[in-house]
Structures are given as structure tokens and as C-alpha cells.
Amino acid sequence: MKKEFLYATLAGNLADKIKSGVLKPGERVPSVRMLSTEHGISINTAKRVFLELEARSLIEAKPQSGYFVSPQHYLKLPLPLASRPAPVAKSTGPDELINEVYSNMGRKDLTLFSIGIPSGHLLPQAKLKKEVVLATRSLKDGGTGFEPLQGNATLRRMVAARSLAWKGQLKENDVITTSGCMNALALCLMALTRPGDTLALESPCYPGILQIAMGLGLKVLEVATHPVTGISIEALRKLLPKITVCLLVPNFNTALGYCMPDDNKKEVTRLLARHGIPLIEDDTYGDLHFSAERPGCCKSYDTDGNVLWCGSVSKTLAPGYRVGWVAPGKYKEQLLKLKLVHTISSTALVHEAVGNFLLTGGYDKHLRQLRQTLQENYRQYAAAIADYFPAGTKISQPRGGLALWVELSKQTDTTELYHDALKQHISIAPGRMFTLQNQFQNCLRLCLGLPWTEELRFKIKQLGGLAKMIAG
């Protein structure tokens, strides 16, 4: 049997034992060495089995003790279905709903499950403040002047240095800073498209991307997407002749939270390059992996500058700072030109502050903590949903990021649920926001970035109660 199959089979077998209860929560699983000896496989293959199970939150490592089965009450809920959008490009969508839900942003009387950012309690506020104050002193003219067009040098150097973690090999000069990741995505789309062009996306898709596409007069082609492996390359391949540009969020997409397998990343990158279709990669959640290793990117497999890789600290450090970047490959000149006319410069102070925080502030330590919190939140949310939501509810199995996708019974309208929940001071993101087609009316997204409390559990209970009432 080929190595690939061996590894997948072994991981599958162990997963089945865990899911069926043969191996119970808290129990120790066989060691790497035991697995290697027992099945006659290399230590590396055995390790890969465990990393896979860990990534799927089925087991967890305890320092100096080995791997144990995770507490996994929530795993009794099945996965949502793979999406099957029509292979038709659309250019209008649920604008009003999106605007309505986003207008809740900043409201202090609501539990904001709807906005996909980490709560301020989870952020290193004191350290960031210190960096801002230092930046007012270290920057020429106290940060009142423009930055160089390409952006803050320290920040660009650190983004490049950190690309080693995902085999990116970026250099400082490959990176342009932007005012957050959405600004990077908007600049990329403006550089690569004209009205009437067609943009291919995963489905479900982040509503902001749908809106920007509509704003630029693009036709949007939503592509079938699997809740564990991401976009269907088969489906994408069939649509290639229609596509001008493709935008993917392969790591912890804000709807389903999947991590596209490395092989798929490689395949999709090569496929698009071969057909001369630029790939915009939104990797803004890439550092929020629940498994031990930072996943790769499509950019890791980009050999000819066809991938425009975008990121930010909006999901990890400070949404309100507006600090992002893009490594635009061979489209650098176009991007610089657009940056000049649309924003001229980013806010020098916060870009310097974030650059220095990445350099010396313990970003990785903060990330470890944040990831742990988000993963623990996922478990808590999932357990609460299992307890309080209607029978038949399905949930995603995010492998990182901030989003939990919930699928209710076919007849449950989550836009109705949104309105009902709002009356109880709860804001959710109804599934219909994430598509231009007639899909996901029975889905919703919850943000995992709120600090877990008994009150939050109660809010989920309330939500489940409302969902039961709507379902009848």
C-alpha cells in the first residue's frame, strides 16, 4: 500500500475508534513509536497521523506525556453539507441584509456573534499601547508625515521573515503594506479586473468580498466547497474558461474554518497559473491554526508571481489599527500605483507600532495563547450547540480561525432567526449574507472570538431556543 494511503487509513481508523467511543475522552492514545512498530511505518508517517488527528481536534498533546483523546462532546454533531452553488455568475446580492447586520458593529448592548473579530479582552492591549507611544517618539516628525509608498520597512521585513513559517520565502521588497486586509483585497481586485469580469470564489464566502465584487461591477462565480477540504478543484476546473480572477481563503475561511490540504493548494495554484488566471489569496486567518503547525499557503507553491498573497493583524492583534499587507508577485507595480491614488500612505504610527511588536513584542507567544482560547471556545460553543440547538443541527469543524458555521434544518430561516435574536440583544450572521445565490438560508455563522463565560453559554441557549421555535 502506498504511503499516502497508509497514513490516511491509519488516521481514519483511529478517528473512528475515537468517534465511536472505543477510545474515550481523556484516554491516552498509542505512542508514535508504538504505531510505527505495530504497522511497520516510519516514525515520520506515524507523526503525520497524530498531527492529522490533532488538527481535527480529536487528540491533543500533553507536554512530556504524549497524546490523549480530546474532550469531544461536540463531535457528535455532523458536518454541514458541501455547498453546490449553481455554475452561474451573479452580480447582485443580499446588500440590505449585509448592511443591516454590519450596522450592529460597535453596539454595546448586543452580544456580537455576528462580527468576525477577536474581542478586545483577547488582545495584548498594554503592549500595543506601549509600542504606539514608542512610535510617536521614534518616527520622524512624530509620525505626522507620510510613509514611503511601499510602507513601513520594519513591518515589511517582519512579514517577509514570518513567511518562512509557511515556506513563503518572501523578501522585504516583495511586500506592500495596506490599511488592513480588506484594503489589500480591494486594491488587488481593482488592479486585476474591469467591470463585467468574472471572479471565482469559495462558497460560502465572506460578505465583504461579495460586496466589493458587486461594487466593482464584477460577476461572481461561487464554486462548490467542501466543509473540510475547501473549494472543489473539480468544480473549479470546469468553470475555468469563464474566470478572470480567483480569490481564495484557503486557511480557516471565515465561514467554514477548513484548512485546504497542501496537495490541493499546490494543485489549484498550478492550475490557475497554467491558465493565466491570477489568484488572490486571503491568508488573514493563517496564524490562527488550532493544530501545532502553521499551514502552508497557495503562495508557498507560486513559482511565477501569479499569487497575490494578502494578510493583516486585524484578526490577531488590533482590528481597529488597520494594518495589513500584500505580496502581489508580478503585479507589484499596479498595486503600488493604486495604493498611491487610493490611500497615498497608511497611518504611519500604528504601522510602525505593529512592525516593532512583531519584531520584539512576543507576537508568537500571544498567538499561542489566542489560538488556545479560540480552540477552547470552539469546544465550548460546539458543546453548547449540541446541548441547546434543535436535533439535526450540523456544525463545521474549524481547524483554525474565528468562525463556527451552523446548519439548521432545511425549513429554518436564519434571517428570521437573526431578527428574533436581535430582540434578545444577540446578533448573528445569517447564512444568506455569504452568497449571491439561494443558498444557506438555514445556516448561520458565529464568531468564536468572544471570551467564554456562563453568560455566553446562556446566549447560545437562547439562540437554540429561538431556532427550535422557528423550526416549529
Binding site for a copy of itself (CB under 8 A): 95, 99, 102-103, 105-106, 115, 117, 120-121, 123, 125-126, 128-129, 132-133, 136-137, 140-149, 179-180, 182-183, 186, 190, 194-195, 208, 211-212, 215, 217, 317-322, 336-338, 340-350
CB of 351 to a copy of itself, least distance (A): 9
Rounded CA gap, 321 and 152, in Å? 14
Least separation in angstroms between residue 42's CB and a copy of itself is 45
Closest CB to a copy of itself among residues 43, 149: 149
* Choice between 44 and 173, CB closer to a copy of itself: 173
What gap in Å lies between CA 175 and CA 431, rounded to an integer?
Answer: 34
Q: Please state the closest distance from residue 140 (CB atom) to a copy of itself, in A.
A: 7
Nearest distance, CB of residue 435 and a copy of itself, angstroms: 16
Cβ atoms of 199 and 221 within 8 Å: the answer is: yes
Q: Which residue, 24 or 342, is less far from a copy of itself as judged by CB?
A: 342
- Cell 465583504 appears where? 208
CA separation for the pair 121, 98 (Å, rounded): 26
Handedness of CA 327, 135, 365, 121 (dihedral sign): negative
Compute the least distance from the CB of residue 52 to a copy of itself, in Å.
Answer: 34
Are 281 and 41 spatial neighbours (Cβ–Cβ below 8 Å)?
no
Nearer to a copy of itself, 25 or 148 (CB): 148
Nearer to a copy of itself, 338 or 421 (CB): 338
- Residue 319 CB, shortest distance to a copy of itself, in Å, is 5
For a copy of itself, which is the closer residue by CB, 91 or 229?
91
User: Do the Cβ atoms of 428 and 463 come closer than 8 Å?
Assistant: yes
Comparing CB distances to a copy of itself, the nearer of 129 and 410 is: 129
Apex 414 CA angle, 409 and 416, nearest 5: 120
- Shortest reach from residue 312's CB to a copy of itself, in Å: 11
Nearest approach, Cβ of 406 to a copy of itself (angstroms)? Answer: 24
Residue 343 or 462: the one with the smaller Cβ distance to a copy of itself is: 343
